[in-house]
Amino acid sequence: MAAMNRQIQLASYAVGPPKASDFTRVEEPVPRPERGQMLCRTIYLSLDPYMRGRMNPGPSYAKGVGLGEVMVGGTVSQVVESNLEGFHAGEIVLTANGWQDYALSDGDGVRKLDPAAAPISTAVGVLGMPGFTAYVGLLDHGRPKAGETVVVSAASGAVGAVVGQIAKIEGCRVVGIAGAREKCDYVTGELGFDACVSHREDDLPAALRAACPDGIDVYFENVGGKVFEAVLPLLNTFARVPVCGRIANYNLTEPPPGPDQVPRLMGLTLVRRITFRGFIIYDHREREPDFLRDVAAWIRDGRVRYREDVVDGLDRAVAAFQGLLRGENFGKLLVRVSDDPTR
Amino acid sequence: MAAMNRQIQLASYAVGPPKASDFTRVEEPVPRPERGQMLCRTIYLSLDPYMRGRMNPGPSYAKGVGLGEVMVGGTVSQVVESNLEGFHAGEIVLTANGWQDYALSDGDGVRKLDPAAAPISTAVGVLGMPGFTAYVGLLDHGRPKAGETVVVSAASGAVGAVVGQIAKIEGCRVVGIAGAREKCDYVTGELGFDACVSHREDDLPAALRAACPDGIDVYFENVGGKVFEAVLPLLNTFARVPVCGRIANYNLTEPPPGPDQVPRLMGLTLVRRITFRGFIIYDHREREPDFLRDVAAWIRDGRVRYREDVVDGLDRAVAAFQGLLRGENFGKLLVRVSDDPTR
C-alpha cells in the first residue's frame, strides 16, 4: 500500500473564531517527484496568527486559502527524494508547505538549513519570520533610542519576546503586556524585560501607567482591543507605533459598539505627533541578512532567548491554532508533524 | 487723551462652536516701550483653525489661552517706536502679537519683512506658517513620488492650496476636496489641480472614487469627519497620511456615535501598510530656509498662486473666526487691523 499524505484543508471560510468544522482532514497518496522536483517531509509546521486572515473569503495582504486548498504555513522539512539539482535526500530545508505531511517543491523560496548552526525549529521562530518581523518592526519602524520606553503586547509570544529583548539590547526600558501570570513572570524573569503587565488586571490602564512612569515612546502593536486603548493615552510626543498585528480583532464579525473613537485617536495622533505604521515582513527582504547575522549572534551571546511551545502531531494542529487565537500558547507555537532527525 | 489699544480676550473656554460671548473686547491705553522694547502696531492678524484648540481649558500641543488673556495669533506689524537695538520705527515685522491693535515686543521671535520682496500679508500666509506647514507636511511626511495620487482636503484653504500646487510641481495627480462649487472651480481652474470634489456631494465616497481611479497614495489630512471616512477605503498600499488638522472635529463635545471604527482603521493600516503621522510645524524650524527659498521662487514663477480673504477691522475678527470654523472663508483668512502702509 502506498504511503499516505495527510492534509488539512480549508472546508469553510471562518466567521468569528475558527471552528473545527472549518477544516477538513484529507488523505491522498504521497506524490512522486518529477524531474525538477523534490519530495519533502514536514518536520515542523509553524502556527501563526496571520493564518486567521487567510481563512476569510476576501484577500488580506495576501491571497486567502481557497476552499478545498491545504492551509498555508511555514514549515521545516527534510528532503525525502530529489530530482532537483542542488538538493539531496536527507537535507533539512525551510519551506512553506502548509498543513500536511508531504509536499513537492521545485525549490522556489526554499532555503537550506544547517542543523549545526541552530536547532532547525528556530527557522520558523526566533530565526525565522516571527523573529524577522520583530527585528524590522522594532528597529526600522519603532526606531527606539536608548532610555526610551518600549511597550510590546503579546510579550511572551514569538514576535513580542524578540521585540522586547532587542529593545533591551538597544538600551530601552521595556514593558511587556501578556495574559497569564506565568507568562509575565517569564517575560521579566527569563527575558529580562523591566516589567510586564497582565491584560487581565482589573484596571489595566492604571497598571500600565504605573509600569510606564515616563510614558511610552514605542508601542509595538500585536493585539489591538483593550490593550491598545490602555496604551493610547500613555503615548508620548513623537511616539512610534509599528502596527504588526491585531489578534484581538481577527475574529470580530462586526465593528464593536460606539462611540466612534477614531476622532479621538486621530486628534491624539496630531497633537502628540504620533506615527502609526502598518508593516508586513515580506516587504523587507533586503534586511534578512542583517537580521540573521544580528539575532544569531545575540542568541549565541545569550542576549536573546526563546521558548517554543511544541504540539505533537498534525491531527492536533487545528486545536492548537484555535488555542493560539485565544492566547493559550506559551512561546512560539509549532506542530511537530514528524520526528526531528537532528535531535 | 491717550491712544487706546483694543484687545480681544478669551472670556470663556469654548464648548462646541465658539460663541461671540466667549470673547470680550477690552480697551487699554497703548503701552509705552521701555528700554529694550519696541511698540508695534498690528497691520494684519492671521486667523487659523489651530486657534480653536487654544480656547480649550486643557493644553493641546501648546499652552491654551487663559481667561482674560489676549487671543493668540500671528501678526504682521509696523514698528511705531523702538528702544530696541536693530529695530527702527516704520519697519515691517512678522510678530505673534495676537488679537489687538498694539503690542510691546522685546524682539524675541520677530523677523523683519522686506515689502519689496513679497506683499507683507504673505508672511502669515503662503510664505508663512500655513505655507510652511504645507511644504513640510507634503514633502517630508507625505513624500510624494511623480505619478502618485495626492488628495488634500480643505483644498482652497491656506494650507491645502499650497499642498496641492507643490504636489503638482512634484509630478503627482492632485485631487482636492472643498465645499462650495466656486472653491472647487478655483482649485482646478486657478490652482491647476487635476480634480476637485465637493464634500457636499450626495455620495462623497463615490465622487472621490471616481476622481481617484488609481487610489490615493498621499492624503494630506486637514479636516477629519466624513471626508476622512471617504478617503480611507481608497488608500493604496504604502499610502502616507500626514495628519495636519481635523477641523471637522475641533468643535466636537463628545465622540460621535458608534460603531467604533478604530479596529477597522488599524486593520486597514496593517493590511495596506499605511503610515499615519501627526505633525506640527513648530517641530521643523530647520526646514524654514528651504521653504522660503523654494516657495518664494515658485510664486515668482507663477507655479504657486495664493488667494487671501481679507476682513477689515479687528471688531470683525470674532465673526470671521467663527466663519473659518464653518468653512466660510475663501483663501487665507486675514484681518486687516490697520492700514497696510506698503500698498
Written as tens digits, the pLDDT of chain B (343 aa) is 568 999 999 999 999 999 999 999 999 999 999 999 999 999 999 999 999 999 998 777 778 999 999 999 999 999 999 999 999 999 999 999 999 999 999 999 999 999 999 999 999 999 999 999 999 999 999 999 999 999 999 999 999 999 999 999 999 999 999 999 999 999 999 999 999 999 999 999 999 999 999 999 999 999 999 999 999 999 999 999 999 999 888 888 888 998 999 999 999 999 999 999 999 999 999 999 999 999 999 999 999 999 999 999 999 999 999 999 999 999 999 999 999 999 8
Chain A touched by B263 (CB under 8 Å): yes
Q: What is the bridge-based pairing of β-strands A216-220 and A149-153?
A: parallel
Chain A touched by B253 (CB under 8 Å): no
User: Which residues from chain B sit within 8 angstroms of residue A280, using beta carbons?
Assistant: 270, 273
Give percent above pLDDT 90 in chain A: 93
Torsion region of B38: left, alpha or beta (phi above 0 gives left; psi -120 to 50 gives alpha): beta
Q: What is the mean pLDDT of residues A321-327?
A: 96
User: Which residues from chain B sit within 8 angstroms of residue A270, using beta carbons?
Assistant: 61, 243-246, 278-280
Q: Which of B237, B266, B283 sits opposite A243 (nearest CB)?
A: B266
Phi then psi dihedrals of residue B193, to 5 deg: -60, 155
Cβ contact A224–B266 (<8 Å) = yes
Q: What is the mean pLDDT of residues A187-212?
A: 97
Q: Is A314 exposed, middle or buried (0-12, 13-18, 19+ CB in 10 A)?
A: buried
Chain B touched by A263 (CB under 8 Å): yes
User: Which residues from chain B sit within 8 angstroms of residue A264, using beta carbons?
Assistant: 255
DSSP state of A31: P
Torsion region of A22: left, alpha or beta (phi above 0 gives left; psi -120 to 50 gives alpha): alpha
Cα three-residue angle A57-A61-A62, rounded to 5 degrees: 65
Cβ contact B271–A245 (<8 Å) = no
Please check the confidence at residue A117 and state whether its pLDDT lies above 60: yes
Global pTM exceeds 0.90? yes
Integer Cα distance of A126 and B239 in angstroms: 30
The Cβ of residue B152 has, within 10 Å, a number of other Cβ atoms equal to 36
Q: How confident is the model at residue A1 (pLDDT cuts 50, 70, 90)?
A: low
| A116: Cβ contacts below 8 Å, ≥ 6 apart | none
In angstroms, the separation between the Cα of residue A56 and the nearest Cα of chain B is 13
Place of cell 549572534: A297
Beta bridge partners of B150: B174, B218
- For residue A61, what is the nearest residue in chain B, using CA coordinates? B271
**b/e code A192-218 from CB counts within 10 Å (16+ = b):** ebbbbbebeeeebeebbbebbeebbbb
- Residue pair A311/A320 in contact (Cβ under 8 Å)? The answer is yes
Place of cell 455620495: B203
Cβ contact B60–A271 (<8 Å) = yes
Q: Which of B246, B271, B283 sits opposite A60 (nearest CB)?
A: B271
A136-161 residue pLDDT tens: 999 999 999 999 999 999 999 999 99
Phi then psi dihedrals of residue B54, to 5 deg: -75, -10
- For residue A276, what is the nearest residue in chain B, using CA coordinates? B276
Q: What is the bridge-based pairing of β-strands B102-105 and B149-153?
A: unpaired
Chain B touched by A221 (CB under 8 Å): yes
| A340: Cβ contacts below 8 Å, ≥ 6 apart | A43, A44, A120, A121
Helix (H) / strand (E) containing A76: strand A75-82
- For residue A264, what is the nearest residue in chain B, using CA coordinates? B255
Cβ contact A224–B278 (<8 Å) = no
Confidence at residue B59, expressed as pLDDT on a 0 to 100 scale: 72
Cα three-residue angle A311-A312-A318, rounded to 5 degrees: 65
Confidence at residue B253, expressed as pLDDT on a 0 to 100 scale: 85
In angstroms, the separation between the Cα of residue A74 and the nearest Cα of chain B is 20
Chain B touched by A33 (CB under 8 Å): no
- For residue B222, what is the nearest residue in chain A, using CA coordinates? A270
ipTM (interface pTM): 0.93
Chain B touched by A62 (CB under 8 Å): no
Integer Cα distance of A165 and A146 in angstroms: 13
What cell does B225 get? 469627519
In angstroms, the separation between the Cα of residue B208 and the nearest Cα of chain A is 21
Confidence at residue A253, expressed as pLDDT on a 0 to 100 scale: 85
First vs last Cα of chain A: how many Å apart? 30
What cell does A205 get? 490602564
Confidence at residue B252, expressed as pLDDT on a 0 to 100 scale: 85
Beta-carbon pairs below 8 A across chains A and B: 147
Determine the residue among A260, A268, A281 to mutate to test chain B binding: the one whose Cβ has the most chain B Cβ atoms within 10 Å: A260
Chain B touched by A279 (CB under 8 Å): yes
Q: What is the mean pLDDT of residues A47-66?
A: 89
- Residue pair A65/A71 in contact (Cβ under 8 Å)? The answer is yes
Integer Cα distance of B55 and B180 in angstroms: 27
Q: Which of A270, A272, A277 sits opposite B246 (nearest CB)?
A: A270
Place of cell 489595566: A204
The Cβ of residue B190 has, within 10 Å, a number of other Cβ atoms equal to 14
Integer Cα distance of A138 and A240 in angstroms: 10
Confidence at residue A74, expressed as pLDDT on a 0 to 100 scale: 98
| B58: Cβ contacts below 8 Å, ≥ 6 apart | B64
Nearest to A324 by CA among A307, A338, A309, A306: A309
Q: Which of A266, A274, A278 sits opposite B274 (nearest CB)?
A: A278
Confidence at residue B251, expressed as pLDDT on a 0 to 100 scale: 84
Cα three-residue angle B129-B130-B136, rounded to 5 degrees: 85
